[in-house]
Structure 1
Amino acid sequence: MSTGMYEDHLPKTAANFAALTPLSFIERAASVYPERPAVVHGNLRRTWAETYARTRRLASALAAGGIGFGDTVAALLPNTPEMVEAHFGVPMSGAVLNTLNTRLDAAMLGYMLTHGEAKAVLVDREFSDVMRRALEDVPQSVLVIDVDDPQYTGTGERIGEIEYEALLESGDPAYEWSPPPDEWNAICLNYTSGTTGNPKGVVYHHRGAYTNALSNILEWDMPKHAVYLWTLPMFHCNGWCFPWTVAARAGVNVCLRRVDAKGVLDLIRSEGVTHYCGAPIVQNLLVNAPDEWKAGIDQTVHAMVAGAAPPAAMIEGMERMGFELTHVYGLTEVYGPATVCAQQAEWSALDVHERAHLNARQGVRYHLQDAVTVRDPHTMEQVPADGETIGEIMFRGNIAMKGYLKNPAATEEAFRGGWFHTGDLAVACPDGYVRIKDRSKDIIISGGENISSIEVEDALYGHPAVLAVAVVAKPDERWGETPCAFVELKADAQVSAEELIAYCKSRLASFKVPRAIEFCELPKTSTGKIQKFELRKRAGSVAALNL
């Protein structure tokens, strides 16, 4: 049966079709701009030719060790050159990269290594102790590769079978890696923050990573040889796909082991940084830094912010510094940012507070995302663009995950009705922009990290003096939001806020521990349900503790 003259006898072949993969970006950068700088880390300088050769060595060494298509290689690393290289070398071997959050405890890391069936893990010595404890409960054999960063000055010991540089020495710098047989093949595994139960494993495909990396360029009008500072953790949604974005522009990866205001501003000045991303806490650190630290920064610096809407004070402070702020929104399941609050020319004539109101919106779809919509999650009908009718933000397109690893039920629910359901409640504005109104699962976003109120509540409920507890977000100038706990004690029980904090510290990662506690009788409905909306109103006035 004929399929039409434009399809008959016009086959898809190797000559006219190639699977989209962001791995092609580093090959081109090394070929076209071999001597251009690719990586800066303290006194270390490497070109794109050198970086490409190192990624091929990594792929070759992994393949020689029996790691290949569909295997998982994890990485517990800060923003060092090795983390940049892992984003290319691991998938070049056919394996899937699983970047691990460096703020997690041993139990959670062990769960992820087990669930993802990691066959190897790269570990910076700063995290060797927590990784050693995590591996104690991992059933499969895991090759541990130690990473020695010269900038690390701590006492962490090597725990692995081989050190990273020795591994690379065993690899072939001319290793002939192959693109994925299908652009739908997995490239990365990222875990959600586990807002209910265990975290879910979000699987990225090569096509999605490729398209979001290019969308980053388009949203920022990012030029060739941009100088990108790694303030955003590469473990978070693969650094919003920017390891591949920077390679596509043959730019410079300015690595940064730890974020502090002076260090960031010094690098912006000395390296001529043009672009960086970060949560509101990073922007606030820079805005509130002493003026003398900002002296000498003459170039335009483009900053991308996500996690919470930028307030007027932040926008005004960034403008005084000569920084241009772009607000984006997304989730792990959509490769990081998938909408942008695209600024209109006429906004520049408005005062800073009105501009802040407009810039606080989550915006419009990324260039290469097919669609974003606000719909009734039950009927799937699109809500009117009146700025008032609340629905759920949903995405559709190439910049959406393959699904949740080993969780077909959750995958099916997430894609119900042909859209990815974010769980975030929002309105559609008359001009087509989207604005979040609430978060359906009571997530607390602290320093760009998601914290489950349920997880914190469960920890507090374990204390023998606690009768009932509710945890909500408390506004925080530094972190954006922090957990605030309202605690109702059992009759005749006594416990101090400090004791409860210490109790939480023994059971939670440090960033999840409440920073404010109020003892009270919790407001409840007639059916006994705690009224969290009432507690949110009070959270701002609860005094923070000195932790």
Structure 2
Amino acid sequence: MPQNPLLFLLRAAQIYPDKVALAHPDVKYPVVYTFAVWAQRIQNFAYGLIRAGIKPDDRVAVIAPNSYLETDACHGVLAARAILTPINTRLRPQEVDYILDHSGASLILIDEELLPLIAGPKLPRIVCKDTGRSDDPYEEFLSEGRRYSQEGLGRLRRTYLAAIGNAFEGQIDKKSTYLWILPMFHAGGWTFPWSSTFAFATQITLRTVNYPQIWNHFLNSKVTHYCGAPTVQIGIVNDPSARKLPRPISAIIAGAAPTAHLLGALEKIGIKPIHTYGPFTRGYDQLFWAKISLEQRSKLIARQGHSFATAEGVRVAEMRDDDQIIDVPRDGKTVGEIVTRGNLVMKEYFRDPEATKKAFRGGYFHSGDLAVMHPDGSIAIVDRSKDIIISGGENASSLAIEQGNHPHVLEVSVVARAHPVWGERTMAFVIIHPEHVARWSGRVDEFVKDLMEHAKARLPGFARPDWVEVVPELPKTSTGKILKTELRKRVAKL
């Protein structure tokens, strides 16, 4: 049987033709598609691309917020045997121009609001006004595809296994409703465009990360699942609309390591955290977890866990000079690098053979994440290799420091700062929790002192921050990861 994720949609259209597959509600012209209607749209989409001159292995760029244009492209581009190139909508025009040029894109599918991002490139483009109406250029494109026919669409994709794995690990089924908060341009929406279809789940798309809107759907749209990085979870938990949910919702969390404190806060309002590490590992509930406290359970969920059902074994190992990879002992102490291989791993760095060779030395992909292996076989990241703080010969994990869980801290990030005696010491950048801003207003020095005392009780001397700066926000990438490079630049000027 060919491992083609497009089979998920065809199967859903045959078994549940009248079930709602996709809803795009919070726009001027809301649309709802059943699996049967959506499957026909994807066929029209693929034929439209072929009619527009797209050939097998051509690259089709997509620049759009979460919408039916994105979900259509995730399936229709593959159906036309082309390669999907989703582009981050938060980039600058010159960055978009570079990606279009480097990828060799042949066509751009773009939301009308984002047209300023492609002022430079002269590539053919199809514009979507997100109306779903017959006079929308995108709908006209689909109509043209309906008139064109060709046999033999589709090809094998590694996405097939990753999508099945995420559906299984995320516990998604035909009764599920998946809310699109995670941008689909972020690592292919973590494969959930295909995972949701595989599971016959309904998908709801949101154009923006709007927390009141998210909570409205949590409370009124029977949402059961969503994905999001820790920074999004922080926004959800602390939104004024936040409350105890009438029914549980599962949150697939990845992109950065969540703190145990954040995981506990999610559980308190009825959101079950499923912490995953890419398409490779997740934390699995253990029988004894029901007998331990929420605080203890949250610390265990914060680990990266065990290998996915569809992933080849993920290892924590050391690399020898002869490229031999040796597993670290399962003692929860010895630090190694997470390495993996198999069908869920990328094929290569595009047009960069040297970087590819370096990343796959010894036959495994080297993640750059440092971790330990616990006696139960679960993996726990301690840091990125480049983020370790070396103080007086001791290695301080920035992640362990950041998970200090001061109750008045909303977010924190730590980096190394030069020290005349110890070489490096820790500097912390801290955002005070909104609920406690008034308490510490005009008393920042006292807050820092309180924070230092908190750290003193929890961290060894070489790891405790020597400097703390209270900030209104932390620099982040467009996908919510904290930009430690920017913090290091700031520290270098001190």
Q: Work out whether the TM-score is over 0.5.
A: yes
Aligned CA distance change for structure 1 residues 441 and 128 (closer, same or farther; 3 Å): farther
Between the aligned partners of 2:473 and 2:426, the Cα distance in structure 1 is 25
Aligned counterpart, 1:94: 81
Between the aligned partners of 1:326 and 1:479, the Cα distance in structure 2 is 21
Q: Deviations over 1:482-508 (max 9, x none)?
A: 69897xxxxxxxxxxxxxxxxxxxxxx
Between the aligned partners of 1:479 and 1:128, the Cα distance in structure 2 is 36
Q: 1:306–1:329: 8 Å Cα contact kept in structure 2? A: yes
Between the aligned partners of 1:251 and 1:419, the Cα distance in structure 2 is 34
Deviation at 1:538, TM superposition (A): 4.3
Q: 1:260–1:285: 8 Å Cα contact kept in structure 2? A: no
Between the aligned partners of 2:223 and 2:38, the Cα distance in structure 1 is 20
Give the count of matched residue pairs.
Answer: 415
2:471 is aligned with 1:544 = yes
Deviation at 1:302, TM superposition (A): 1.0
Q: Deviations over 1:393-417 (max 9, x none)?
A: 0112211111121122222222211
Amino acid at match of 2:142: L
2:64 is aligned with 1:168 = no
SS at match of 1:67: coil
Aligned counterpart, 1:20: 3
Aligned counterpart, 2:61: 74
Aligned CA distance change for structure 1 residues 317 and 131 (closer, same or farther; 3 Å): same
Aligned counterpart, 1:432: 377
Aligned counterpart, 1:393: 338
Q: Deviations over 1:143-163 (max 9, x none)?
A: 111121249xxxxxxxxxx93
Deviation at 1:481, TM superposition (A): 5.7
Deviation at 1:175, TM superposition (A): 4.5
2:311 is aligned with 1:311 = no
2:226 is aligned with 1:299 = no
Deviation at 1:311, TM superposition (A): 3.0
Q: Deviations over 1:433-461 (max 9, x none)?
A: 11111102349xxxxxxxxxxxxxxxxxx
Between the aligned partners of 2:94 and 2:370, the Cα distance in structure 1 is 32
Between the aligned partners of 2:63 and 2:414, the Cα distance in structure 1 is 26
2:4 is aligned with 1:30 = no
Amino acid at match of 1:398: N
Amino acid at match of 1:164: Y
Aligned CA distance change for structure 1 residues 280 and 106 (closer, same or farther; 3 Å): same
SS at match of 2:316: strand
SS at match of 1:542: strand
Q: 1:56–1:173: 8 Å Cα contact kept in structure 2? A: no
Map residues 51-200 of structure 1 onto 2, 5 A cutoff. Answer: 51-133=38-120, 135=121, 142-150=123-131, 163-172=137-146, 175-176=149-150, 178-180=152-154, 183=156
2:356 is aligned with 1:373 = no
Between the aligned partners of 2:85 and 2:189, the Cα distance in structure 1 is 12
Aligned counterpart, 1:468: none
SS at match of 1:441: helix
Between the aligned partners of 2:149 and 2:68, the Cα distance in structure 1 is 20
Between the aligned partners of 2:171 and 2:33, the Cα distance in structure 1 is 25
Aligned CA distance change for structure 1 residues 317 and 125 (closer, same or farther; 3 Å): same
SS at match of 1:326: strand
Map residues 492-531 of structure 1 onto 2, 5 A cutoff. Answer: 522-523=418-419
Aligned counterpart, 2:445: none
Structure 1 gaps of 5+ residues are 1-17, 136-140, 152-161, 184-205, 331-336, 444-471, 487-521
Aligned CA distance change for structure 1 residues 411 and 308 (closer, same or farther; 3 Å): closer
Aligned CA distance change for structure 1 residues 386 and 69 (closer, same or farther; 3 Å): same
Aligned CA distance change for structure 1 residues 67 and 340 (closer, same or farther; 3 Å): same
Deviation at 1:305, TM superposition (A): 0.9
2:214 is aligned with 1:264 = yes
Map residues 479-490 of structure 1 onto 2, 5 A cutoff. Answer: none
Aligned counterpart, 1:407: 352
Map residues 318-333 of structure 1 onto 2, 5 A cutoff. Answer: 318-330=266-278
Deviation at 1:281, TM superposition (A): 2.0
Q: 1:68–1:94: 8 Å Cα contact kept in structure 2? A: yes
Between the aligned partners of 2:207 and 2:2, the Cα distance in structure 1 is 34
SS at match of 1:241: helix
Deviation at 1:546, TM superposition (A): 7.0
Residue among 232, 235, 244 paired with 1:285:
235
Aligned CA distance change for structure 1 residues 480 and 367 (closer, same or farther; 3 Å): farther
Amino acid at match of 2:271: F
Between the aligned partners of 1:432 and 1:523, the Cα distance in structure 2 is 38
Aligned counterpart, 2:185: 235
Q: Deviations over 1:224-260 (max 9, x none)?
A: 2411000111101111100001111121110011112
2:324 is aligned with 1:384 = no
Aligned CA distance change for structure 1 residues 397 and 259 (closer, same or farther; 3 Å): same
Give the TM-score normalised by structure 1: 0.70
Aligned CA distance change for structure 1 residues 298 and 57 (closer, same or farther; 3 Å): same
Aligned CA distance change for structure 1 residues 534 and 303 (closer, same or farther; 3 Å): closer
